[in-house]
Amino acid sequence: MPTDPANSQNIFVTQYDFWADYRDDIDAKYQSWLAG
């Protein structure tokens, strides 16, 4: 179960400040990569 205390070591933490600052740049580079 996701709420099992044993799984608390496997939590994925989202860094909202990072994504707020860099999402547009990362998204543009990713879209360029997808386009080939």
pLDDT tens for each residue of 10-30: 788 889 999 999 999 999 999
Please give the pLDDT value at position 11: 80
Query: Is residue 1 pLDDT above 80, yes or no?
Result: no
Radius of gyration of the chain (CA): 16
Q: What DSSP state is assigned to residue 25?
A: H
Q: How many CA atoms lie within 13 A of 34 on its CB side?
A: 6
Higher pLDDT, 16 or 7: 16
Sketch the domain layout of the chain as residue ranges. 5-35
Please give the pLDDT value at position 9: 81
**Reported pTM:** 0.58
